[in-house]
Amino acid sequence: MSHSFDPASVDLPRGHYIGGAYRPAEGGLEMHRPSDGVLYAECPVAPAELVDEAVATSHAARIASGWSSQRPRERVKVLHRWADLIEAEAPTLARIEALSSTRPVEEALTGDVAITAEQIRFFAEMADKEGGDLVPTADSELGMIMTEPYGVVGAITPWNFPLSMAGWKLGPALAAGNGVVIKPSEMTPWSTLYAVELAERAGLPKGLVNVVLGDGPVTGNAITAHPGIGKVSFTGSTGAGQAIMGNIARHGVKPVTLELGGKSPQIVFADADIALAADCVTRGITANAGQVCVAGARLLVQASVAGELAEAIRAKMEALAPGETWAGGRPLSPIVSERQIGRIEAIVTRAIAEGAEALTGGERFDRPGYFYRPTLLIGVTDTSPAVTEEIFGPVLTLQTFETEEEALAMAQHPTYGLCSGVYTRDLARAMRMARGIEAGTVWINRYGRSRDHILPTGGYKSSGIGKDLGREVYRANRRQKSVLIGL
């Protein structure tokens, strides 16, 4: 069954969402649909005063509702009902997501929405299982480590997987007993608003979560600087992450989780299953048109199989057909904006001018919207921005190596360390690579996250601080207090 829809038929939530009601706002930042470039809405920008109100509303709702002081199982029940409602409303959520973002409706439905519901249940289940500790002391004393929520968490999310990124932040923060002020990306705010509306329908206290719309410099800054925000959880680019750390430091001290960018290698040894590797490598750079933090953008291949692998990847890339996100099926996604597709063009053009060759791609599709052809670049230099910078598009560079030592050295990026893929039939080599690669995740003979939400995700080096998913993210949403009792 096709889930295609008419983009004009979708009712978008309007305005900020504060205290359980929409706060309409006029004007704002122009929003264009990536699939056809049509200007369809404006995103309001919340000033600092509205962020103040959102933070105060979250604090008040948390106290009045007893969200963090009640039996934790009560939180579990509400979050489970929220996940159920997300599933029940999946078609609406998927259409809202597909309209403004780069997520084809079919993928939004079976991927983003379904996984978000699943992950909210996963985080919910920690609320009454994760706790503090009793510690060894003299018998005349009792020492314990208590954990408690931060109060209000400030969450800031990117545009590339709007709903699931909101779920990554809201699920653990709420399960851990916090209120949240969340700012979705100014390019794709709608699914977050609707998801929060659903949470309240499921029984979440009104005003516990408030959604403020806006950009980084105004609304984002107001959140990270706010003294009433106990912790910041951010996913986005490394540049914005650096700005956020600086802003927090200028206004005080508070913990910050940063899930940032990457330039991840996929390393294929000659003994690998080449058909499997071709499939995984291609999907690893073309899923969501390469606009994925974990995109496997640097292919490192043992020289003896480079030709065979390149040919297999070229054929797979050329088989991908673009399509509007509302067209149904599983088309190649558009690029999010004219600005971003222009940046991709500039990096590829420069690489070619410096001597690289595009085995396929290297240009836009000739059609409305912002669609870029999956591109395989060979003959790139080590210092080319195509090799060093996060492109956030369907552009794969191919470089060859002779030995395992050389592969490991090439895999390390000077600043990024988010993910990596290794393809080999030699288990000992796979484990040597897994130990040696400086990255927060290593996938072996596969590429991409599974639905095992227990595996934390997060970067080394400038790819981030802290983790999302796993037990770690729940724990990071609570702070520790030592209590020592003289008996």
Instruction: Please give the positions annotated as active site.
Output: 259, 293
Residues 6+ apart with CB under 8 A from 66: none
Q: What is the per-residue DSSP string for 117-176?
A: HHHHHHHHTTTTT---EEE---TTEEEEEEEEE-SEEEEE--SSSHHHHHHHHHHHHHHT
- Complex with ligand NAD: residue 374 or 464, whichever CB lies closer: 464
Options 149, 179, 261, 323; binder of ligand NAD; rule CB under 6 A: 261
| 337 forms part of the interface with ligand NAD (CB under 6 A) | no
Q: Among 80-88, 147-155, 236-244, 379-387, which window interacts with ligand NAD (CB under 6 A)?
A: 236-244
Of 211, 167, 169, nearest to 189 (Cα)?
211
Q: Among 122-130, 239-247, 267-275, 317-325, which window interacts with ligand NAD (CB under 6 A)?
A: 239-247
Options 171, 361, 369, 464; binder of ligand NAD; rule CB under 6 A: 464
Options 78, 105, 108, 156; binder of ligand NAD; rule CB under 6 A: 156
- Complex with ligand NAD: residue 102 or 235, whichever CB lies closer: 235
Dihedral sign for Cα 399, 400, 406, 408, please.
Answer: positive
| 97 forms part of the interface with ligand NAD (CB under 6 A) | no
Q: Among 341-349, 373-381, 430-438, 456-464, which window interacts with ligand NAD (CB under 6 A)?
A: 456-464
| 155 forms part of the interface with ligand NAD (CB under 6 A) | no
Q: Are 417 and 463 in contact (CB under 8 A)?
A: yes
- Complex with ligand NAD: residue 104 or 440, whichever CB lies closer: 440
| 325 forms part of the interface with ligand NAD (CB under 6 A) | no
- Relative to beta strand 152-156, strand 179-183 is parallel
| 259 forms part of the interface with ligand NAD (CB under 6 A) | yes
Q: Residue 443: beta bridge partners?
A: 421
- Complex with ligand NAD: residue 10 or 243, whichever CB lies closer: 243
Site for ligand NAD in 267-296 (CB under 6 A): 293
CA count, 13 A, side-chain hemisphere, 485: 9
| 102 forms part of the interface with ligand NAD (CB under 6 A) | no
Q: Among 205-213, 254-262, 310-318, 406-414, which window interacts with ligand NAD (CB under 6 A)?
A: 254-262
Q: Among 39-47, 87-95, 253-261, 378-386, which window interacts with ligand NAD (CB under 6 A)?
A: 253-261
| 160 forms part of the interface with ligand NAD (CB under 6 A) | yes
d(CA 161, CA 168): 10
Q: Are 269 and 137 in contact (CB under 8 A)?
A: no
- Residue 389: CB minimum distance to ligand NAD, A: 10
Options 221, 384, 397, 400; binder of ligand NAD; rule CB under 6 A: 221
- Complex with ligand NAD: residue 199 or 244, whichever CB lies closer: 244
Of 127, 111, 115, nearest to 78 (Cα)?
127
Q: What is the per-residue DSSP string for 290-303?
A: G-STT-EEEEEEEG
| 183 forms part of the interface with ligand NAD (CB under 6 A) | yes
Q: Specify the residue for token string 């060759």.
A: 357
| 158 forms part of the interface with ligand NAD (CB under 6 A) | yes
Can you say how many angstroms the Cα of residue 26 is from the centroid of all Cα atoms in its chain?
Answer: 29
- Residue 293: CB minimum distance to ligand NAD, A: 3
What's the count of helices (H) and strands (E) in the chain, helices before strands?
Answer: 16, 22
- What count of residues does the chain have? 487
| 390 forms part of the interface with ligand NAD (CB under 6 A) | yes
CA count, 13 A, side-chain hemisphere, 151: 13
Q: How many residues bind ligand NAD (CB under 6 A)?
A: 30
Pair of tokens at residue 36: 């056809």
| 186 forms part of the interface with ligand NAD (CB under 6 A) | yes
| 235 forms part of the interface with ligand NAD (CB under 6 A) | yes
Of 130, 68, 153, nearest to 475 (Cα)?
130
Q: Among 106-114, 233-241, 282-290, 361-369, which window interacts with ligand NAD (CB under 6 A)?
A: 233-241
Q: What is the per-residue DSSP string for 324-349?
A: -TTS-S-PBPPPS-HHHHHHHHHHHH
Options 171, 220, 322, 417; binder of ligand NAD; rule CB under 6 A: 220
Residue type, 340: Q
| 216 forms part of the interface with ligand NAD (CB under 6 A) | yes
- Residue 125: CB minimum distance to ligand NAD, A: 22
Report how far apart, in Å, the C-alpha atoms of 233 and of each of 223, 230, 464, 473 are.
11, 10, 11, 10
Site for ligand NAD in 405-434 (CB under 6 A): 418
- Contact residues for ligand NAD, defined by CB under 6 A: 156-160, 183, 185-186, 215-216, 220-221, 224, 235-237, 240, 243-244, 259-262, 293, 390, 392, 418, 457, 459, 464
